[in-house]
Structure 1
Amino acid sequence: MEMKLELIVVPVSDVDRAKAFYAEKAGFTVDVDFSAGEDFRVVQLTPPGSACSIALMKNKETAGAVQGLHLVVTDIEAVRAELVQRGLAVSEVFHHEAGGPVPGHDAEERDYANFASFSDPDGNGWLLQQVRRGGGAA
């Protein structure tokens, strides 16, 4: 059996504002922006290089409820710098130790260990996670 996760619904309070954020600041590609009357609109965007897209869903009650979405990158510093240049507020790089998050890179530069975070205008939370798949220490 094969299953592919290809779409995640992200609840937002303002679809136009969210579309602009994801396209202009996060650099996602707008795949679809389709309306069928005032009550139905589909806006689908895809992060660069991703097989999984997001669909923006207007829902003021749950806007900001999605947390921990991971964007896996091979060079967290380069991606973070590009996002900051686009005007996106991205945290500094951090890693986790026994006491919780710690500023700076993992001392061994292990895959899956370095993160940076950002949120969309509604507070949906994203993490950049560095994975070199063999390029870093295991």
Structure 2
Amino acid sequence: MKSGTAAFGILSLGVVTLPISDIDRALRFYVDRVGFALDVDYAPNTTFRVVQLTPPGSHCSIQFGRGVTDAPAGSLRNIYLVVTDIETARSRLLERGVEVSELKHKAPIDGWGGAFAPGFDPNHRDYASFAGFSDPDGNTWVLQERGHPDV
């Protein structure tokens, strides 16, 4: 059995659908506060509207709207946003009015069993530092540091 690109070619995640309750409120939150770019806001009739947004530098977008998903609003958990400098990313979100959790990092790094310590990983190791936030409906996001410039 073949796996990976040999079997399928390139598989690239393109869109994650968010269950939200208020399209315009979610649009303002993700564009004005989180800094996503608006790609599409399409409403051909009164029963369907799709809004698609892309995080800066991402190849994957999010979408939400009317007639897009039947999942309960706020039910999506732990969507990861990978950042190269978690302290800066957290600070910028806070400045834009997003409530972001305190930083935490895996502890101990070697032999990690699910515990965390406060603050970022002092060595900025990939996949070790985290913070989180929620959108107005309660969908949750995780900032994860990977590729810090000082490493």
| TM-score of the two chains, using structure 2 as the length reference | 0.83
Give the letter aligned to residue 41 of structure 2.
D
CA contact (8 A) 1:12 1:60 kept: no
Q: In structure 1, which of residues 117, 123, 134 is the aligned counterpart of residue 132 of structure 2?
A: 117
DSSP 3-state at the match of 1:36: strand
DSSP 3-state at the match of 2:57: coil
Q: Does 1:126 align with 2:134?
A: no
Q: Deviations over 1:35-66 (max 9, x none)?
A: 01111001000000000000013468611111
Once residues 134 and 86 of structure 1 are traced to their aligned partners in structure 2, the CA distance between those partners, rounded to angstroms, is 24
CA contact (8 A) 2:34 2:98 kept: yes
The residue aligned with 1:17 is: 25
Structure 2: 5+ residue runs without aligned partners? Answer: 1-8, 108-112
Once residues 76 and 106 of structure 2 are traced to their aligned partners in structure 1, the CA distance between those partners, rounded to angstroms, is 21
The residue aligned with 1:84 is: 94
| TM-score of the two chains, using structure 1 as the length reference | 0.90
User: What is the percent sequence identity of the aligned residues?
Assistant: 48
CA drift of 1:71 comes to 0.6
CA drift of 1:100 comes to 2.5
Q: Does 1:48 align with 2:56?
A: yes
Pair 103,9 (structure 1): closer, same or farther in 2 beyond 3 Å: same
Pair 133,75 (structure 1): closer, same or farther in 2 beyond 3 Å: closer
Give the letter aligned to residue 108 of structure 1.
N
Give the letter aligned to residue 115 of structure 1.
F
CA contact (8 A) 2:33 2:97 kept: yes
Once residues 64 and 93 of structure 1 are traced to their aligned partners in structure 2, the CA distance between those partners, rounded to angstroms, is 23
The residue aligned with 1:101 is: 116
CA drift of 1:96 comes to 2.7
Q: Does 1:26 align with 2:26?
A: no
DSSP 3-state at the match of 1:48: coil
Once residues 119 and 4 of structure 1 are traced to their aligned partners in structure 2, the CA distance between those partners, rounded to angstroms, is 25
Q: Does 1:65 align with 2:58?
A: no
Larger radius of gyration: 2
Structure 1 consecutive aligned stretches of length 4 or more whose deviation exceeds 3 Å = 57-61, 133-136
Give the letter aligned to residue 49 of structure 1.
G
CA drift of 1:94 comes to 0.6
